[in-house]
Amino acid sequence: MSPTKTLIRNIHLYLGLASGLVIVFVCLTGSILAFEKEIDQAWHSEHYFVAPASTARLPLATLAAAVRTYKPKAKIAGIKVYADPTRTVEISLAGAGGPGKGAKGEGAAEGRKGRPAAESKPAGKEGAGKGKGKGDGGPRIYVNPYTAAIAGEVNPRDTFFHTVEQLHRGLVAGKIGKLVMGVSASIFLFILGTGLVLWWPATRKAMTQRLQVKWGSSWKRLNHDFHIVLGFYASLVLFIMALTGVGMSFEWVGEGINKLTNSPLKRPEPPVSTVVAGAAPFAADAVLALARQQAPGAVSYTLQLPKDPEGSMRVAMLPAGAITDGATNEVFLDQYSGKVISGQTYEQRPVGQRIRGLFKPVHTGAIFGWPTKVLALIFGLLGATFPITGTIMWLNRIRKNRKKQRTLQAV
């Protein structure tokens, strides 16, 4: 082996040994998150699905009244309505509002936990109107749209998948944990790159050998092939996942993308409403009707209510066939007149914002639905095996070298 390849092999080896446990942990937790939405909807189907009735859906005002009865001290921050007649209506609260008072009716599910699907998040971090924030962190109430029965209550911060995501991103340890995960993802990029250099064969015959696992061989040979051959096939997908992981860990990546694409560093402040003394806010049902007129074929409509008298109402509409759940078109309405103040389609968003918005769906495999989620699951699990198989190869090499030395000494 040439001195250059020896150096590359040592870099590959020692980086792998230094970050192996972290890589195994990150890959395993990432694999769990690949089918987060599907698992949670199957696990807590009563939160998300109802039997469609022959009668029309109840007005949003009626559903909101049922939530206020269930949690009298709560303030409603947003409402999400699906076009699918089997889906519940999701009502996000601005605060904890105290414990529920025993929801009656079909589908009541007190005390059950489970993270809502990724698509069910409120309108986003931007907020609507002045005083926007990063989300109120309140619970989410699921309501039967035909009977107004409370189908369940979930606080996203208290769910299993939220905990797994926090562990995966190192957020349980704050900024230090996030930094460690970001550095580990960066190291993983170097490991994948050096591994590809070491894999690259010198001859066409060797190429064939490195593209096939020799089933039926000894366990040492199988371990070698699992690391070398499967490592090659998984390298591209894992490289993309590690690259997006770095992008989500370091703010300078997003800032750099914004500068390269001439995109604004911050989203503009939402427009304000014209305050009318004594005027009542525009009804949520009227807002939903306007949204359906603008996007009749949308999958869902998310109404984010204003936080103060001058705030505007934000409506996010997810088109059918959208590339991600975050690829919504949005409009801002005056909360008193219902007049459209401004609007923006997903395609009109700054390029930098759209690129950054793809980091998470690409990282988790949600970008193209089931096919990419399956890839993320499979290659995530494979990624967890490579530090193990690599360590075994290193230990076998050490034993082999020691055996040679003993043989030479004996001779």
The answer to whether residue 247 scores a pLDDT higher than 60 is: yes
Same domain, 132 and 7: no
- State the DSSP string of 214-248: -TTS-HHHHHHHHHHHHHHHHHHHHHHHHHHHHHH
Q: Average pLDDT of 25-37?
A: 95
Q: What does the DSSP 8-state code read for residue 348?
A: G
* Average pLDDT value over all residues in the chain: 87
Of 161, 185, 215, which marks where a domain is finished? 161
Give yes or no for residue 325 having a pLDDT over 50. Answer: yes
Which pLDDT does position 95 carry in this prediction? 64
User: pLDDT confidence of 53, banded at 50, 70, 90?
Assistant: confident
CB distance 56 to 282 below 8 Å: no
Residues 324, 272 share a domain: yes
- Number of neighbouring beta carbons within 10 Å of residue 171: 14
Looking up tokens 């082999």, which residue turns up?
400
Evaluated on CA atoms 227, 230, 236, 241, the torsion sign reads negative
> Which pLDDT score, from 0 to 100, does residue 122 have?
35
Mark whether 182 and 291 lie in a shared domain: no
- Shared domain check, 303 and 211: no
Distance CA 13, CA 191 (A): 8
- Looking at the structure, tell me whether residues 133 and 238 fall in a common domain: no
pLDDT in tens, 153-170: 999 999 999 999 999 999
On the question of pLDDT at 130 being above 50, the answer is no
Task: Identify the pLDDT of residue 401.
Answer: 86
Average pLDDT over residues 4-18: 92
- Whole-angstrom CA distances from 329 to 39, 77, 134, 232, 241 are 27, 19, 20, 39, 27
Residue-wise pLDDT tens digits, 332-356: 999 999 999 999 999 999 999 999 9
pLDDT score of 175 more than 60 = yes
Q: For residue range 212-245, list pLDDT tens digits in order.
A: 999 988 999 999 999 999 999 999 999 999 999 9
Same domain, 389 and 251: yes
Q: 301: which 2 tokens?
A: 């409509």
Q: Give the pLDDT confidence of 282-299 residue by residue, as tens digits.
A: 899 999 999 999 899 999
Domains held by the chain: number = 3
CA count, 13 A, side-chain hemisphere, 296: 1
Of 111, 10, 384, nearest to 230 by C-alpha is 384
Q: What percent of the chain has pLDDT over 90?
A: 73
Residues 180 and 236 in one domain: yes
For residues 409 and 406, what is the distance between their CA atoms, to the nearest angstrom? Answer: 5
The closest of 264, 210, 255, 260 to 232, measured between CA atoms, is 210
Q: For residue 114, is it left (φ>0), alpha (ψ between -120 and 50) or beta?
A: left
259/372 same-domain check: yes
Residue ending a domain, among 111, 137, 161, is 161
Are 49 and 82 part of one and the same domain?
yes
259 Cα distance to chain centroid: 24
Q: How many CA atoms lie within 13 A of 289 on its CB side?
A: 9
**Pairing assessment for the beta strands 300-304 and 150-154 based on DSSP bridges:** unpaired
pLDDT one-digit tens code per residue, 92-117: 998 654 444 443 333 333 333 333 33
If asked whether residues 322 and 406 sit together in one domain, one would say no
The string of pLDDT tens digits covering residues 251-273 is 999 999 999 999 997 888 889 99
Q: Is the pLDDT of residue 126 over 60?
A: no
Claim to verify: residue 84 and residue 225 sit in the same structural domain? no
Instruction: Among 134, 161, 188, identify where a domain stops.
Output: 161
Same domain for 306 and 216, yes or no, is no
Q: Which residue has the higher pLDDT, 65 or 136?
A: 65
Higher pLDDT, 82 or 404: 82
Range of the domain at 28: 3-34+170-263+367-410
Exposure class string for 250-267: b at 16+ Cβ within 10 A, else e: beebbeebbeeeebeeee
CA distance 346 to 327: 6
**Which pLDDT belongs to residue 136?**
47
